[in-house]
Amino acid sequence: MANILVYALHYEGAINKNSLGAVSEGARLAAELGGEAHAIMLGESVPRELAASLGAYGAKKVLVAEGPEGLAQPLVDAMAKAITDGGYKYAMFGGGLLGFEIGAGLAARLGAGVVMEVTNVRVEGGELVSERPILGDSAISQVKYRSQVGIVIGRLNAFEARQTGDGEAAVEELSFELSPHASRATMVTRGEQRGADVDIEGADVLIAGGRGLGKAEGFKLAEDLAAAFGGNSAVAATRAVVDAGWYPYAAQIGQTGKTVSPKLYLAAGISGAIQHKVGMQSSENIVAINKDANAPIFEFSDLGIVGDLNKILPKLTEAVKAKKGA
Ligand SMILES: Cc1cc2nc3c(=O)[nH]c(=O)nc-3n(C[C@H](O)[C@H](O)[C@H](O)COP(=O)(O)OP(=O)(O)OC[C@H]3O[C@@H](n4cnc5c(N)ncnc54)[C@H](O)[C@@H]3O)c2cc1C
């Protein structure tokens, strides 16, 4: 029986959306393997009802451990103990930096195989195969695990949170020992990334920026234009720029981001990859600015402007301001 242990990150009384996705995906895969998905939560005092609520996402059991939440090393200690004692065959994480760090630590501790940035997992011959985009997302690599324990770390938003479970999960205490080095780091403060609460799904006007903006500071041009429109306007982004850290993940549109249909979608410096298109193609009016006349985005734009966004965006902002002031 191959059981899967999924890490569930919680913050301010709620379980992180990527973790809910990982629990759902873990439950689907465990069922195919003839096993169960269990979750693990760590914290100063994890609310038991929060842990039990993971049952709705398919977790049969949730292990709750006492320790500092949000730091990787204590979680490596807790998960290594749970995996060794419980004989789990796989450990799973939703996307995010913490998962990368814990997964890497666990791999080192347990001699486990680890695959990061996973966008899909399937069962083949009673074992998991992790699929991961490589070479700038132009190819998919399929990875099987040879190790006793296999670690799957998802790409952010790759796994959809689905309420497929019934009832509450059983909650069990897990006691473990912190290794000496695990308490050398302490949490100073936790907070949401700037813009993490942007509501791009509800916006009427979206100014979306891509790699053509050149750098994080380039987003100022998009923000100025959105501010000129005022009202229900927001700034959105492509996967390439959120991965580069130029803009928050919450603003990402596309296959592994959000799906939007604003009245106006203005794409600045976005090539128009299929994975981006699926998230915005139902917008009422699509306007694209791109210096490459052959960019795919022009194939599904209502209005295309071929030129340098650094010149066009400020002029558009002035024009919108002038119109609004008129
Ligand atoms: C499984 C999977 C899931 C994915 N999910 C998503 C997703 O959810 N969302 C998403 O967006 N992508 C996703 N991707 C990535 C996607 O394939 C593209 O790599 C990404 O959308 C490209 O982002 P971009 O348009 O910002 O960058 P690029 O493709 O590099 O395009 C930049 C564009 O800017 C133009 N440009 C450059 N300078 C200027 C200038 N000065 N003025 C005007 N134009 C300029 C260039 O001509 C170019 O067309 C996914 C990929 C995979 C494999």
pLDDT digits (tens, 9 = 90+) for 38-96: 999 999 889 999 999 999 999 999 999 999 888 999 999 999 999 999 999 999 999 87
Distance, CA of 179 to CA of 194 (rounded, Å): 33
Query: How large is the average pLDDT for residues 88-105?
Result: 91
Q: Which residue, by CA, sits nearest to atom 52 of ligand 1?
A: 137
pLDDT tens digits, 147-192:
999 999 998 778 989 998 888 999 999 999 999 988 888 888 876 6
Output the CA 277–ligand 1 centroid distance in Å. 10
Output the CA 160–ligand 1 centroid distance in Å. 22
What pLDDT, on a 0 to 100 scale, did the predictor assign at position 12? 85
Output the CA 104–ligand 1 centroid distance in Å. 28
Residue of 298, 295, 301 lying closest to 281 (CA atoms): 301
Top mutation candidate among 256, 283, 294, 310 for ligand 1, by most atoms within 8 Å of CB: 256
- Classify residue 192 by its DSSP letter: P
What pLDDT, on a 0 to 100 scale, did the predictor assign at position 205? 97
What pLDDT, on a 0 to 100 scale, did the predictor assign at position 292? 98
pLDDT tens digits, 257-304:
888 999 999 999 999 999 999 999 999 999 999 999 999 999 999 999
Query: How large is the average pLDDT for residues 11-28?
Result: 92
Distance, CA of 179 to CA of 78 (rounded, Å): 10
What pLDDT, on a 0 to 100 scale, did the predictor assign at position 11? 86
State the chain's mean pLDDT as an integer.
Answer: 93
Output the CA 4–ligand 1 centroid distance in Å. 34
Output the CA 311–ligand 1 centroid distance in Å. 20
Type of residue found at 197: D
Output the CA 271–ligand 1 centroid distance in Å. 5
Distance, CA of 108 to CA of 103 (rounded, Å): 9
Output the CA 209–ligand 1 centroid distance in Å. 9
Query: How large is the average pLDDT for residues 11-34?
Result: 93
Q: Is 133 in the pocket of ligand 1 (CB under 6 A)?
A: yes
Output the CA 254–ligand 1 centroid distance in Å. 10
What pLDDT, on a 0 to 100 scale, did the predictor assign at position 133? 86
| Torsion sign, CA atoms 44, 60, 35, 119 | negative
Which numbered atom of ligand 1 lies nearest the CA of 133? 53
Distance, CA of 149 to CA of 167 (rounded, Å): 29
What pLDDT, on a 0 to 100 scale, did the predictor assign at position 194? 53
- What 3-state class would DSSP assign to 241? helix
Report which secondary-structure segment, H or E, holds 38. strand 37-43
Q: Which residue, by CA, sits nearest to atom 27 of ligand 1?
A: 211
Report which secondary-structure segment, H or E, holds 24. helix 17-33
Q: Is 299 in the pocket of ligand 1 (CB under 6 A)?
A: no
pLDDT tens digits, 221-251:
999 999 999 989 999 999 999 989 899 888 9
Which numbered atom of ligand 1 lies nearest the CA of 312? 42
149 with 84: CB under 8 angstroms? no
Q: Which residue, by CA, sits nearest to atom 11 of ligand 1?
A: 238
268 with 209: CB under 8 angstroms? yes
Top mutation candidate among 138, 265, 271 for ligand 1, by most atoms within 8 Å of CB: 271
Q: What's CA 257's distance to the chain center, in Å?
A: 8
155 with 119: CB under 8 angstroms? yes
What pLDDT, on a 0 to 100 scale, did the predictor assign at position 185? 87
In angstroms, the first-to-last Cα distance of the chain is 70
Distance, CA of 105 to CA of 216 (rounded, Å): 30
292 with 286: CB under 8 angstroms? no
- What 3-state class would DSSP assign to 268? strand
What pLDDT, on a 0 to 100 scale, did the predictor assign at position 27? 97
Taking the CA of residue 278 as centre, how many other CA atoms within 13 Å lie in the half-sphere pointing to its CB?
A: 8
